[in-house]
Amino acid sequence: MSDVSGTTTQSIGKEFNSFIKLLTAQIRNQDPLSPMDSTQFVDQLATFSTLEQQVTSNTHLEGIASMIGGLHSSILAGQWLGETVAIDTSWAPYSGEGVDLVVDIPESTDETILKVRDADGNEIWSKTLDPEASTYTWNGETSTGDQMAEDGVYQLEIQMYKDGELQRTTSPRLIGTVTGVTVDENGTLLLETSLNLTTEMANVEKYDR
């Protein structure tokens, strides 16, 4: 039984390695603005998953199953390349260009204020937001007037008031474009963006301007 399982595992391993090489080449050479159709690859992943279930007694398949899961996530991440997204984060890198924000203001709120703080927690700018709008831009303004913010990372905070009382504190979502996909030291897939900000897929959703 072990000989059959071992032979099957080696066969699956060879096929899987060939599949990895093919997929990697196609992902590397694809047009970011017109990503490839991943349907056929998802179908092959399902086939490998079925084979994995048929030979679960072999410990080597744990590694293959892990690779299948990681590859599936890689395909999904690849579909984000070139997409405009809204990113959940309270920190925004600033380098001279405006930072576009999405803020969801509930009807129960009668005043919404955006506060910008530097890395030391010092407030450098504050503005009451127009409740009729949904997107806003911080262009690096500061409360000192003509002096603009220096390049760096800034904390953005949204304060929502009702009848003069603070009801809620939250963070805006930043608008950017996905420019690449990478993996951290723990194997977590990350999306690189035009904002010089890298984040997990769970913190990102596609956004239509």
Whether 8 has a pLDDT exceeding 60, the answer reads no
Q: Which residue has the tokens 């080449």?
A: 25
With b meaning 16 or more CB within 10 Å and e meaning fewer, what string describes 97-112?
eebbbbbebeeebebb
Tens of pLDDT along 74-107?
676 678 889 999 999 999 999 999 999 999 999 8
What are the structural domain ranges in the chain? 1-79, 89-174
Q: Residue 2 pLDDT more than 70?
A: no
**CATH class entry, domain 89-174:** mainly beta
Model confidence pLDDT, tens digit, residues 133-160: 989 999 999 998 778 999 999 999 999 9
Neighbours of 204 (CB within 10 A): 23
The model's pTM: 0.64
Task: Report how far residue 86's alpha carbon sits from residue 176's, in angstroms, rounded to the nearest whole number.
Answer: 7
pLDDT of residue 174: 96
pLDDT at 43 over 70: no
